[in-house]
Amino acid sequence: MKIKTLSCVVKRAENVGIIEQDVQYDDGDQYQTLIRLSRGGICGSDLHYYQHGKVGNFAVKHPMILGHEVIGRIIKTNSPNLRINQKVAINPSKPCHSCKYCLSGEINQCETMRFFGSAMYNPHVDGGFTQYKVVDNTQCIPYPEDIDDEIMVFAEPLAVAIHAAKQGGDLKGKRVFISGVGPIGCLVVASVKALGAQDIICTDISQRCLNLALEMGATKVLHANDDFSEYAQHKGEFDVAFEASGHPSSIERCLEVTKAKGTIVQIGMGGNLPNFPLMTLIAKEINWKGSFRFVEEFNTAVNWLASNKVNPLPLLSATFSFKNFEDALKTAGNKNDISKVQIIFS
């Protein structure tokens, strides 16, 4: 079976377009499901490809379909566990299932992960901003018919946030600090709350983002320029800090306000840190942990959204048809006024 499909591609920096391709589905193919995509969310990495033609060292070398936060309906499948027309969230991870990390269950560390919309490999891995796509059966996570699409599109970024929250250990009754409350930081707020954190104190340079953090469950917010000395006394007040901005001053602040032997979870991606306060890390015996993508938390995220444990809708700022793809990217790039932008494919 062959279907014509339109896809949103990036060719190089600020050069995007819509291309028509054929998507091929063969019933005999193993473990394959054909999806008609309904909606997608624009993520920071999609924006990076658009604005700079690369993410980190991974430059776009040929047209690549963007997008890894997508949901859709099943058109065809050979899985006994899935059915035609079922609504599914698509897990954008495609691990190899055979490297040492995959075999030990740490699939987010897969040595040859094929992640949607990534220029890490050449040829690049196409993403989900397209009308039709063939995916592995295991990438399809069904969700109830009555859950709105605009909610379920948050499954992927919420999975990132839940995975990060879990790096902080048992959060029940804990005092938590979150520095940087863009969409991911705000979803970390909701996640640590759902996991039982008692105090959730957030900071950012944007008052709009701080207001969103309050809506998502923060108990208190402070502007980045406010006085934090009360939280730095006694070698710090917080059990766990989440650094979600990547800015050196934010990393420094996390080290100041996290108590001795506490944990800092690093989510924000930044550049070099020439003046990194190494001595604070050593002397306070801080656990500084990275957090990257997710494993089974994708299924947890689908469950939490389907059961209304987390309401992500305060973070949705605008919705566009995929035909206005470039306008959607430009709008998403306006960080002062905009959080999440979604694209509709059908």
Q: Is 110 in the site for Zn ion (CB under 5 A)?
A: yes
CB 45, min distance to Zn ion, A: 6
Q: Which stretch in 43-51, 134-142, 225-233, 312-320 sits in contact with Zn ion by CB under 5 A?
A: 43-51
Distance, in Å, from the CA atom of 130 to the CA atom of 133, rounded to the nearest integer, reads 7
Q: Which stretch in 24-32, 39-47, 78-86, 121-129 sits in contact with Zn ion by CB under 5 A?
A: 39-47
Q: Is 43 in the site for Zn ion (CB under 5 A)?
A: yes
Distance, in Å, from the CA atom of 140 to the CA atom of 163, rounded to the nearest integer, reads 19
The helix (H) or strand (E) run that includes residue 100 is helix 100-103
Q: Shortest CA distance to 59 belongs to which of 134, 131, 119, 146?
A: 119
Do residues 265 and 209 lie in contact, with contact meaning Cβ atoms separated by under 8 Å? Answer: no
> Is the sign of the CA dihedral 210, 212, 214, 216 positive or negative?
negative
CB 130, min distance to Zn ion, A: 16
CB 186, min distance to Zn ion, A: 14
Give the per-residue contact string, 70-109, with Zn ion (x = CB under 5 A; - = no). Answer: -------------------------xx--x--x-------
Which C-beta is closer to Zn ion: that of 88 or that of 197? Answer: 88
Which C-beta is closer to Zn ion: that of 25 or that of 325? Answer: 325
Distance, in Å, from the CA atom of 44 to the CA atom of 305, rounded to the nearest integer, reads 21
Which C-beta is closer to Zn ion: that of 159 or that of 192? Answer: 159
Q: Which residue has the tokens 């089974």?
A: 296
Mapped onto helix, strand or coil, the DSSP state of residue 159 is helix
Which C-beta is closer to Zn ion: that of 71 or that of 197? Answer: 71
End-to-end Cα separation, the chain, in angstroms: 20
CB 335, min distance to Zn ion, A: 15
Binding site for Zn ion (CB under 5 A): 43, 95-96, 99, 102, 110
